[in-house]
Amino acid sequence: MRPSSGLPQCGRRCPHSGGKSMRCSSIPPSTASPSMSWMRMHSGIWPRRTGTVVKKSCYPRWNEAFEFELPDPPAEKLCVEVWDWDLVSKNDFLGKVVVSVQGLRAAGHQEGWFRLHPDTAKAREERRRGSLGSLQLQVRLRDETVLPSHCYQPLVQLLCQEVKAGHQAGGVHLVTLLDETTTAECRQDVAVNLVKLFLGQGLVKEFLDLLFELELAKPCEPNTLFRSNSLASKSMESFLKVTGMQYLHVVLGPTISRVFEEKKYVELDPSKVEIKDVGCSGLHRVQTESEVIEQGRQLLQSYLRELLDTIGKSAPTCPPVIRAAFRQLFQRVGERFPQHQHTQFVAVTSFLCLRFFSPAIMTPKLFHLRETHADARTSRTLLLLAKAVQMVGNMEPAAGRAKEEWLAPLQPALQHGASQMRAFIIQLVGTEEEEKGGEGWPCAPRTAVVKEGLLFVHKTRGKGPLLASTSKKLHFCLTSEALSFSKSPGAERCGSIALANIRAAEKVEEKSFGSCHVMQVVYVDDAGQQETAYLQCKCVNELNQWLSALRKVCGNNPQLLHAYHPGVFRGDKWSCCHQKDRTGPGCGRTRHSITLQDWSDPLQPDVEAQRLFQHLHGLQQPLREKYWQLMEEGGPQNGPRGCGEGPLLPIELRRLFEALQDLERCHRQLPPALLELQT
């Protein structure tokens, strides 16, 4: 599968409002282009976004995704430009693709190869039309109108009741119908929505346990368990990505950084070995193929050993909710296959190694482990390391060796790794008493550090300790008492903000500073004057972690704001609502209750419920048909289909359809101006 580069998801998600999203993939130009290329996206209203520079490639592939907020009124077009990057001279324009927002409204989705066009503003560029190559893009425009929370309660309560009821023999579960009627293309998105919804409801363990039971109730073989892309597999995979990202960074971060920094040549496949000169100046000799392979084996074993040692020691630091989920999985598989104890371990590694660790090793940028994609040499090393982790996860390294004989030199390391992985899983799925009383979860002292790290300070008009600092980048330390800052880690503290003085911690809209990773901390200074500090994080994960940490420690403050300004005050007005009073009330609702808990993604239950409604609304007839198909397969004893007005449906399905119809009526009652945004 070829990597692809994603483009905008334009979305606006708030009560009584609509939003749209675009998604693009790009595998650029089909004709040869200079060796260093980069992509830039912009429109007349949206801020510019720049992709990663792809070096040493005439056929660059970006594999990146960007998200834009669709303004009101919406922009007319989105422009994707391709440039040749030069270190010294001016960058060269290679061509552009213009996507019509109005056309996307009608189609909803565009995908394929788009011909690059010249800059029509320059007459000399016009003659190059048709000879600039093509760009492969995938663009999607999504409209979301999020209703008030109470509108979704019937749907959410019904789903929660289904999960609490658990698996009941002899009946057709609503989750089974959802799994059977959801297409493979939509299953990943539906799984993410369900996981986040049940995380917010405190029922994610029960939800996953129900999926495990339903999956194990199907005819299956021990060696193919959870290898398909069922709703159970996709939900567990999504659950790990949502709740375990910080754990993943702790486990994989050091080894991934070492591979990127060393840039060593690692190859075990004789058909791909590159023979190069080695030796001292004036006396060169050519390395033999066996020497290159032996050197690669030693390096790969070193990386694998370091990684497995870190994994083996990480069980106490694994989030409790993940340990509880794997404990349930381990138990359910043991009950289903009592004669195959080996299957219990493979079931855990099929998710942990094959769907979590290995993908992150192969593409660390997509998991926010690195800022940029790896070059060709580093990518090959990461691929071999990911393959080794997969073979360790299979718990039978000899099976992988049978497919690729050149992996034979790695066999002893893989055998030892499988033993390490088995010991790790035993510790990971240990009893709840061991988890609570283990040394990995000591009680934190009152003044323990909650979070710390470097943040970029954006200077604005105003006073306060942060704005008085001469440094743009400061080291921040959040404790249970204050948010303090210094010029570097361990340096003398420059100043602090008492937690009792913090009034809000919120995101800042992207157009304010040209970045989507900026947050604002609204606080009261010693003189009683309200001030705002704008702090930029390095990535969305870090932004979410800081917001969550601040909201948790300030959650009991009696004077928290109910509204804030998502923009910045420039000139004589706010950039978000154009209000001229700097101290006037905010135009956006604060989100003090949205925190990360044990996961690394802020939960917005209304948004997840709306997405599930959109999906289920189009499945009403397929759900009916699939229900009767499954009932007929169960035999005539399951009851009559009914006559006259139509087949009799179980009460769960009838309640589901009623909830969907109520939500549809709520959407129809929205103001016409908002309905124009729907696709």
Q: What percent of the chain has pLDDT over 90?
A: 20
Over the stretch 496-514, which tens digit does the pLDDT of each residue have?
999 989 999 999 988 888 8
pTM higher than 0.75: no
Q: Is 133 helix (H, G, I), strand (E, B) or coil?
A: coil
Within 467-560, strands assigned E span 473-479, 482-486, 493-498, 502-507, 518-524, 530-536
Least confident of 1-5, 100-104, 322-326: 1-5
Amino acid identity at 378: T
Query: pLDDT at position 41, please?
Result: 57
Mean pLDDT of 407-420: 88
Query: pLDDT at position 328, please?
Result: 92
Handedness of CA 71, 75, 81, 87 (dihedral sign): negative
Query: pLDDT at position 293, please?
Result: 87
Over the stretch 13-53, which tens digit does the pLDDT of each residue have?
343 344 444 444 444 333 334 445 555 555 554 556 677 77
In which residue are the tokens 């509880």 written? 324
Least confident of 209-223, 435-449, 564-578: 435-449
Which residues make beta-bridge pairs with 81?
Answer: 40, 96
Mean pLDDT of 480-505: 87
Handedness of CA 56, 60, 66, 70 (dihedral sign): positive
Q: What percent of the chain has pLDDT over 70?
A: 76
Compare 676 and 500 and report the one with higher pLDDT: 500
Query: pLDDT at position 256, please?
Result: 93
Mean pLDDT of 654-658: 90
Query: pLDDT at position 441, please?
Result: 33
**Mean confidence (pLDDT) of the chain:** 77
Mean pLDDT of 473-489: 87
Determine if the peptide bond prior to 558 is cis (ω within 30°): no
Mean pLDDT of 304-332: 92
Highest-confidence segment of 213-227, 281-295, 615-629: 615-629
Mean pLDDT of 544-568: 87
> Which residues have CB under 8 Å from 23's CB, separation 6+?
6, 7, 8, 9, 65, 138, 139, 140
Mean pLDDT of 472-478: 88
Q: What's the token pair of residue 304?
A: 């694998």
Dihedral angle computed from the Cα positions of residues 382, 386, 392 and 393, in that order, rounded to the nearest 10 degrees: 160
Over the stretch 347-405, which tens digit does the pLDDT of each residue have?
999 999 999 999 999 999 888 888 888 888 899 999 999 999 999 988 876 655 556 78
**CA nearest 303: which of 272, 270, 261?**
261
Q: What's the token pair of residue 617?
A: 């609304």
Query: pLDDT at position 37, please?
Result: 56
